[in-house]
Homo-oligomer: A and B are copies of this chain.
Amino acid sequence: MKQEKELAMAVHAEVTVPRTLYWVGGVDGHLVLIDQTRLPVDFVEMECRTVETVWEAIKMLRVRGAPAIGVSAAYGVCIGLQTVAGQAEGPFFARLDEVVKYLAESRPTAVNLFWALDRMQRVGHQLKGRKSPAEVAELLLAEAHAIEQEDREMCHAIGRFGAELLTDGQGVLTHCNAGGLATADYGTALACFFAAHEAGKKLKVFADETRPLLQGARLTAWELKQRGLDVTLICDSMAAQVMREGRIQAVIVGADRIAANGDAANKIGTYGVAILAAFHNIPFYVAAPSSTFDFGTKTGADIPIEQRDPREITHGFGRQTAPDGIGVYNPAFDVTPAKLIAGFITERGVIRAPYVETLARQLRSATAKSA
């Protein structure tokens, strides 16, 4: 009965939202990206017509978020091959390898970047000798489209499972940006809010601004507003007070890497939010594709914590806000222990502890079906 009502309310769900990235035209086409460094003040789409432009966009964080970087790089390969599409097999495949190597150097730590480039290179070489360079270029564009489409489907599946955890009228909190801007479309943590909203559930979303780089203020607040959700920006230090006032019924965040025991690495500040949620008896969920589980990493203790430039804190937004000559500690992320996580929202469903057993079972079942 309640579900029927929610479905009936879904009519208003059609909203035109700027796309993080998209391909224009055929094999001679180009990539369009939102320049995220200009958000939230300026909405600027940039056209990438050379592989160098794609490289620069990834390097300078104009496009960011592991899945979005992967998709951009795949299209970057297509752009790189445009200059050799009419040439012989030798120069064509030499160029493919060259472009892959070049793009891989744009953000040396982005796992999805390597994954997408490897896939494009492998598919290309598998066609060598069987298809003409022009045909391979067409098929590689189709592969890039497939990578993009798979990412969209993964995000929407996460959104559907996440939305089921939320009910009309709830207040929810997120940290950093695990949104459409970090993926080809729709996001991971934010996908849950988007899908709930599209199902007619009115949410009140609180977004942590997420110091030092303010992805919550600049990107998450922007995305939520673009899709018509009710968004309230707070400083990271206000989350506890907002919880105490009874305004939050669920927390959903993204993840960069999840250890086999369920410890989850994510943007700095996530761990603190998880403790605050536990103190206020609020469920804390992590939304991420199942590929984020790294079974080679046993626990969060094995995940190294990257340190970033002190000037992100002391000179964050064009103004010096701290004295010269002091110490600064700027860890890029933290690890939330599994015991603080109510469940993982993945494209395969919501996974609860014990994570290794649950996920292994799901993967076996998926393999059995596809066999």
Which residues of A pack against B, CB within 8 Å? Answer: 39-41, 175, 206, 208-212, 214, 217-218, 221-222, 224-225, 230-242, 244, 268-269, 271-272, 275-276, 278-279, 305, 313-314, 316-331, 334
Copies of this chain, complex-wide, total 2
Contact of A212 among B175, B235, B239, B268 (CB under 8 A): B235
CA distance A236 to B210 in the complex (A): 9
Given A237-B236, A244-B271, A225–B318 Cβ distance below 8 Å? no
Is A328 a contact partner of B211 (Cβ separation < 8 A)?
no
Q: In whole Å, how far is A5's beta carbon from the nearest beta carbon of chain B?
A: 26
A329 to B232, CA, bound (A): 6
Contact across chains for A233 and B268 when beta carbons are under 8 A apart: no
Chain B nearest Cβ from A42, distance in angstroms: 10
- Chain B residues in 8 Å Cβ range of A209: 211, 313, 321-322
Partner of A271, one of B241, B275, B316: B241
Show 25 A/B contacts (Cβ-Cβ < 8 Å), sorted by A.
A40-B320, A40-B321, A209-B313, A211-B236, A214-B321, A214-B322, A217-B313, A218-B323, A225-B323, A233-B322, A233-B329, A234-B328, A237-B237, A237-B268, A237-B269, A237-B272, A238-B334, A239-B272, A241-B271, A241-B272, A244-B334, A275-B279, A316-B317, A318-B319, A319-B319
